[in-house]
Amino acid sequence: MILKKVEKEPRAAAYPAPAALVSAYGKRGKPNAMTAAWISNICADPVTLVVGIRDTRYTYELIVKNGCFGVNIPNVKIAKEADYFGIVSGRDVDKFKETGLTVFKGTEVKVPLIKECPINIECKLTKQVKIGTHDAFFGEVLKVYYDESIINENGSPDILLADVLAYGTGNYYSLKSIIGGYGYSRKSEQFSHLFEEIQSDD
């Protein structure tokens, strides 16, 4: 049964998203970061992600100045800290001092990365596109760090093991369980017959 659809005016609706902490060095080498849910991987080669940042933000200014930024994926344990990083400005406070989160330095570009986040990404700014209130910053991924504890028995990182936060429709959520792996429909009874004759594309 298809339920009734409610029509709404335009709004952000492509969720869930990461509650990522986008980090950059500020004045006198002081690390800063802001929470950004409007972020996504965008290209396979060169590996690139994109993040939307409002031009009034301190982090906006720092990324433009530095030409690089870090992306850090927080877990449920530091959810309050992640929220705090999104509602105050690094112009007014030292968010790291206030929350107790700590940083390590990137090796590829000059970015602060957040130790307590199970996933860290070093990015070089490669393109900046003005959209409206927000610019889209494209960052080429130069290196990725995972906490050893989030690597599964196959040697792959797992965001469920990492207990990452998901953001959407005004809330932070935790993940429950794996529904299936990419391509799992191919092996399912319901769909396997569909794969007998066709060639998949990339």
- Write out the binding residues for a second copy, residues 38-77 only, by CB under 8 A: 38-50, 52, 54, 56-58, 71, 73, 76
- Residue 37 lies near a second copy (rule: CB under 8 A): yes
Q: How far is CA 178 from CA 118, 149, 153, 175, in A?
A: 18, 17, 15, 9
User: Which CB, 25 or 138, lies closer to a second copy?
Assistant: 138
- Residue 5 lies near a second copy (rule: CB under 8 A): yes
What burial letters (b/e) apply to 119-156, b meaning 16+ CB within 10 Å?
A: bbbbbbbeeeeeeeebbebbbbbbeebbbeebeeeeee
Distant-in-sequence, close-in-space partners of 104: CB < 8 Å, separation ≥ 6: 112, 113, 115
- Residue 2 lies near a second copy (rule: CB under 8 A): yes
- Residue 7 lies near a second copy (rule: CB under 8 A): yes
- Residue 190 lies near a second copy (rule: CB under 8 A): yes
Binding residues for a second copy, total number by CB under 8 A: 118
| Span interacting with a second copy, options 23-31, 62-70, 121-129, rule CB under 8 A | 121-129
- Residue 105 lies near a second copy (rule: CB under 8 A): no
- Least distance in Å: CB of 175 to a second copy? 5
157 backbone dihedrals φ, ψ, rounded to 5°: -70, 150
Site for a second copy in 132-151 (CB under 8 A): 132-134, 136, 138, 140-149, 151
- Residue 12 lies near a second copy (rule: CB under 8 A): yes
Decide if 150 contacts 119 (C-beta within 8 A): yes
- Residue 165 lies near a second copy (rule: CB under 8 A): yes
Q: Which of 78, 88, 75, 73 is nearest to 37 (CA)?
A: 73
DSSP structure class, residue 16: -
